[in-house]
Chains A and B, each alone.
Chain A
Amino acid sequence: MSAIQEVVTEAPTVEAVPKRAMTLGAGSSLVMLALLILVPLFVKNFIIFQLTMLLIYGLAVLALNILTGGSGQFSLGQSAFYGVGAYTSAILMEHAGMNYALTLPIAGVICFAFGFLFGQPALRLSGVYLALATFALATAMPQLLKLGYFEPWTGGVQGLVVTKPDAPFGLPMSQDMWLYYFTLAVTIAIYIFSVNLLKSRSGRAFMAIRDNEIAASAMGVDVALYKTLAFGVSAGITGVAGGLGAIAVQFVAPDSYTITLAISLFLGMVVGGVGWLPGSIVGSAFIIFVPNIAEGISKGLSGAVFGVLLFLVIFLVPHGARQVAIVAQQMLGKLKKG
Chain B
Amino acid sequence: MELFTNQILAGIATGAIYACMALAVVMIYQAIDHLNFAQGEMAMFSTFISWQLMQWGIPYWGAFVLTLAISFAGGIAIERLLFKPLAKAPILTNVAGFIALFAIINSVAGLIWDFTIKQYPTPFGSHPFLGSQLISTHQAGMIGVTILLLIGLFFFFQFTRIGLAMRAAASLPESARLVGINTSWMIALGWGMAAAIGSIAGMLIAPVVFLEPNMMGGVLIYGFAAAVLGGLTSPFGAVIGGFLVGIFENLAGTYIPGVGNELKLPIALALIITVLVVKPAGLFGRPIVKRV
A positions within 8 Å CB-CB of B: 1, 5-10, 13-15, 68, 74, 121, 124-125, 128-129, 131-133, 135-136, 139-140, 143-144, 146-148, 212, 214-215, 263, 266-267, 269-271, 274, 300-308, 310-311, 314-315, 318-320
Contacts and interface: CB of A to CB of B under 8 A. Distances in A.
B178 interface: no
Contact of A303 (B110, B171, B291): B110
A131 B232 CA distance: 14
A140 B270 contact: yes
A295 B212 CA distance: 22
6 contacts: A6-B288, A6-B289, A9-B290, A132-B269, A133-B276, A140-B265
Main secondary structure of the interface of B (DSSP, over half): helix
Contact of B269 (A14, A136, A147, A307): A136
B95 A270 contact: yes
Contact of A6 (B93, B104, B171, B263): B171
A302 B292 CA distance: 46
Interface string B98-127: 011111101110110000000000000000
Contacts of B102: 307
Contact of A267 (B99, B111, B171, B272): B99
Contacts, number: 156
B221 interface: yes
B224 interface: yes
A318 B90 contact: yes
Contacts of A305: 107
Given A132-B273, A143-B262, A314-B96, A319 B292 contact: no
Interface of B: 34-35, 82, 85-86, 88-93, 95-97, 99-104, 106-108, 110-111, 171-172, 221, 224-225, 228, 232, 258, 262-263, 265-266, 269-270, 272-273, 276-277, 280, 286-292
A314 B273 CA distance: 32
Given A136-B266, A301-B108, A303-B107, 5 more contacts: A6-B171, A132-B273, A143-B263, A270-B92, A318-B90
Q: Give the top 3 A-B pairs by smallest Cβ distance, nearest first.
A: A303-B107, A140-B266, A318-B89
A320 B273 CA distance: 32
A121 B273 contact: yes
